[in-house]
Amino acid sequence: MSALKLDKVGKRYGAVKVIEQLSLDIAAGEFVVFLGPSGCGKTSLLRMIAGLESVTAGRVLIGGQDVTALPPGQRQLAMVFQHYALYPHMTVRANLAFGLRNVGVPADEIARRIDEAARMLELAPLLDRRPEQLSGGQRQRVAIGRAVVKEPAVFLFDEPLSNLDAALRGRTRVELARLHQRLGATMVFVTHDQLEAMTLATRIVVMNGGAIEQIGTPAEVYRRPATRFVAGFIGTPAMNFVEVARTGDAAGQAVVMLPGGERLVTRVPAAALGESTSLGGGRLSLGVRPENLRLVGAHELSPAPALHGRVDLVEFLGERTIAHVRLADDSVIGVTVQGASPVRGERVGVAMDLDQAHLFDAQGRAFHAGPVDAAGLTERVAA
Amino acid sequence: MSALSPTLDAAMAAPARGVDTGLRRSRPAHALFVLPFVGLYAALVLWPLLQGFWISLHEHDLLSDEHHFIGLENFANLIDDEFFAQVLWNTLRFVMISVPVFVVVSLALALALNRPGRLGALLRGTFFAASVLSVTIVTLVWRLALMPERGLVSQLLAPLGLGEVGWLTSERLALPTVALVTVWWIIGLPMMLFLAALQQIPADVHEAAALDNASRWRTFTAVTLPALARTVALVAVIELIRECQVFPQIMLLTNGGPNNSSRPLAQFIYEQAFVQLSLGYATAASQVLFAIMLVGVSLQLWLERERKERA
């Protein structure tokens, strides 16, 4: 039985559709992250699960029980808000106890749960202070503590890290991951920060325009993005897209023409593309991440460069360097530099790891090359 | 300064000498910026206050402008004056009736009308609109409405057998009736203060309470009301000051009657000064009014501070 199930859930404000017919199954113990740009409907969806906003269609089930019509307090949920939403005139202890008192938990049980949460989240020295006497990070821990003591069926997090500074955000992220491991609880987390999504999630739900673009593990959405939107949204620096035209097939694989006029035999099976490209008049996008490209001499033979261009800009990012290369059609792609940095204006060739090169049709649908090994990915994401 | 050691002196002077942009140093010329306000405040508030106290120590005839110093005799006379005791009691009664009603009713209105949409906006505007009316119009309207038998109020209450009640002509009812009219007239401002305070409460705190399974009443008492405590104190202080000085609506509705049962302190002061022409006695009475307001406001601010420290 799933811990949380959304059954054809929809939301509209008057004539404006925010979310249309969305279904999702979340198993017990999962850490699911709703990821998407501002306005994609991820926060609305979370608030609909919480009961803070009504659904205009479909059903919300928690632990198999239909809670669509239940008020927020009776859904066995706890939520951590973006701006903490602590009760300002209550002490930390009273903040934690408030929800438990409201449902008639006995005093000794309340004390036990508060002690346990305080130990876990290092809140003990703060219990008699008020929110105004706490730093941002401490307030966030109290907000998390307030959720933990309720021992809910599902934890909801609404961009809880966005108000913290970079260092604290990193630390709290690790604490949240630990908390999830320790409690083994079901968690739903909303963010627009892909790093948070990648590091915390067991599954990521990538949303755009009120609909789900892809549901998958971090490795899946990174390595086999289902759509061009997902491919472009996930990964920093972003995936490169090069406009190409399909010219034919070679040994069952699609052949495309690159901006410079060269032909490239991809590893994408031609059969999969089939009719799809004829819809777009043969126009496709070739998508490759910067780390799957490398600079080579313009006339190198092995590996032979697939693309040619001129170095526009070299960015030093610390653990790696990205060269921005301007191609024949004036588009610019980012290439990870291995070895000596090129100089600005230098003519270079760009070789491509064809196993990691994707094609996207005019509708944004993705076509992948070869099988994926998920093992190598975790390292790169963690870095 | 001689008590300070030379090194400490030097240390204190050092920052000013280090980076002297001239902006951080206090110069006599800076006083020019506050001078207009201080000048007006002194001329229009402080000086009349002192002048008033000085006059209250005199027997001062307004017509002839003759005056001679009599010390605290005016105050001694006030203590023995039964008429003064009655108007003082009337004023306190008026404050005790109207201030709590102001706080409770304006808070209730604000809670009811703190909602988006046209109806809310229309009602907010309607409740505030009466405050814009001048006291003459308000009292004219209410005198008509409160007329026994023919007035709107009497007609509405006739089925309950209250059609012939003399709201403004009964000794027991006149003052409470004027208090209710006053509430109706100027409830708009405290309501707006509460609305502003309600809108300062972040929505997510109420959402957190909803997720914490708090009932509406519990949310109100445990979340909303504590957030409004300062505004409750503010409204109480403002209304205390305003209602201690109640005068025009009483003058126009009952003229202090019947049998002085609704005559307030401010009317007493006015009549002593400009009808009886004894300015010294009138100013002595206004010193008492000033003292009452000062005590009342201090008491309220002290209570608020105590409450905060306890919590």
For A172-186, what is each residue's pLDDT tens digit?
Answer: 899 899 999 988 999
What tens digit of pLDDT does each residue of A131-175 get?
A: 999 998 899 999 999 999 999 999 999 998 888 888 888 888 998
Interchain CB contact of B125 with A (< 8 Å): no
Q: Which of A68-82, A261-275, B218-232, B277-291 is predicted with the least confidence, judged by mean pLDDT? A: A261-275
The complex's ipTM?
0.82
Q: Which of A5-9, A54-58, B28-32, B164-168 is predicted with the least confidence, judged by mean pLDDT? A: B164-168
Interchain CB contact of B208 with A (< 8 Å): yes
Cα B87 from Cα B202, distance rounded (Å): 46
Count the Cβ atoms, other than its own, within 10 Å of residue A68: 17
Residue of B nearest to A128 (CA): B311
Pick left, alpha or beta for residue B22 (phi over 0 → left; psi -120 to 50 → alpha; otherwise beta).
Answer: left
Q: Work out the burial of residue A284: count CB atoms within 10 Å of its CB; fewer than 13 is exposed, 13-18 middle, 19 or more buried.
A: buried
Q: Which of A52, A89, A99 sits opposite B212 (nearest CB)?
A: A99
| Inter-chain CB proximity A87 and B209 less than 8 Å | yes
| Inter-chain CB proximity A78 and B226 less than 8 Å | no
SS (H, E, C) B245-301: CCCHHHHHHCCCCCCCCCCCHHHHHHHHHHCCCEHHHHHHHHHHHHHHHHHHHHHHH
pLDDT score recorded for residue B7 = 47
Q: Which of A78, A89, A90 sits opposite B211 (nearest CB)?
A: A78
Chain B residues with beta carbon closer than 8 angstroms to that of A72: 207, 210-211, 213
Q: What band does A304 get if pLDDT is binned at 50, 70 and 90?
A: confident
Interchain CB contact of A268 with B (< 8 Å): no
Cα A177 from Cα A157, distance rounded (Å): 13
Cα A182 from Cα A347, distance rounded (Å): 54
Is A244's pLDDT higher than 70? Answer: yes
- Please give the backbone phi and psi of residue A360, each rounded to the nearest 5 degrees, phi first: -125, 135
The mean pLDDT of chain A is: 87
Is A376's pLDDT higher than 50? Answer: no
Give the distance from residue A205's alpha carbon to the nearest chain B alpha carbon, in angstroms.
Answer: 24
Ranges under pLDDT 70 in chain B: 1-23, 311
Q: Kindly report the pTM of this predicted structure.
A: 0.79
Interchain CB contact of A52 with B (< 8 Å): yes
Which range has highest mean pLDDT (A64-68, A258-262, A305-309)? A64-68
Which long-range CB contacts under 8 A does B178-181 form with residues at least 24 apart? B178/B94, B178/B246, B178/B249, B178/B250, B178/B253, B178/B254, B178/B262, B179/B94, B179/B97, B179/B98, B179/B101, B180/B101, B181/B138, B181/B139, B181/B142, B181/B249, B181/B253
Q: What band does A279 get if pLDDT is binned at 50, 70 and 90?
A: very low
Q: What band does A129 get if pLDDT is binned at 50, 70 and 90?
A: very high
Is A109's pLDDT higher than 90? Answer: yes
| Inter-chain CB proximity B204 and A102 less than 8 Å | no
Contact present, A321 and A337 (Cβ < 8 Å): yes
pLDDT score recorded for residue B1 = 38
Q: Which of A51-55, A341-345, A369-373 is predicted with the least confidence, judged by mean pLDDT? A: A369-373
Chain B residues with beta carbon closer than 8 angstroms to that of A98: 209, 212, 214, 222
Pick left, alpha or beta for residue B221 (phi over 0 → left; psi -120 to 50 → alpha; otherwise beta).
Answer: alpha
Count the Cβ atoms, other than its own, within 10 Å of residue A149: 24
Interchain CB contact of A102 with B (< 8 Å): yes
Quickly count helices (H) and strands (E) in chain A.
10, 21
Count the Cβ atoms, other than its own, within 10 Å of residue A259: 18
pLDDT score recorded for residue B96 = 93
**What is the average pLDDT across A237-248?**
88
pLDDT score recorded for residue B14 = 45
pLDDT score recorded for residue B19 = 54
Residues B71, B72, B74, B76, Cα dihedral to 10°: -140
Q: What band does A235 get if pLDDT is binned at 50, 70 and 90?
A: confident
Cα A363 from Cα A226, distance rounded (Å): 12
| Inter-chain CB proximity B207 and A72 less than 8 Å | yes
Q: What part of A 342-371 touches B (C-beta under 8 Å)?
A: none
H-helix or E-strand spanning residue A23: strand A16-26
Residue of B nearest to A104 (CA): B213
Q: What part of B 219-278 touches A (C-beta under 8 Å)?
A: 222-223, 226-227, 229
Contact present, B228 and B197 (Cβ < 8 Å): yes
Torsion sign over Cα B158, B160, B164, B168: negative
* SS3 category, A299: coil
Q: How many Cβ contacts (< 8 angstroms) between chains A and B?
A: 65
Q: Which of B207, B211, B219, B224 to mutate to test the interface with A (most CBs of A within 10 A)?
A: B211
Which long-range CB contacts under 8 A does B113-117 form with residues at least 24 apart? B113/B191, B113/B195, B114/B195, B114/B198, B114/B199
| Inter-chain CB proximity B202 and A50 less than 8 Å | no
Give the distance from residue A100's alpha carbon to the nearest chain B alpha carbon, in angstroms.
Answer: 8
Q: Which of A81, A87, A150 sits opposite B223 (nearest CB)?
A: A87
Interchain CB contact of A114 with B (< 8 Å): no
Q: Which of A246-260, A289-303, B20-34 is predicted with the least confidence, judged by mean pLDDT? A: B20-34
Q: Work out the burial of residue A366: count CB atoms within 10 Å of its CB; fewer than 13 is exposed, 13-18 middle, 19 or more buried.
A: buried
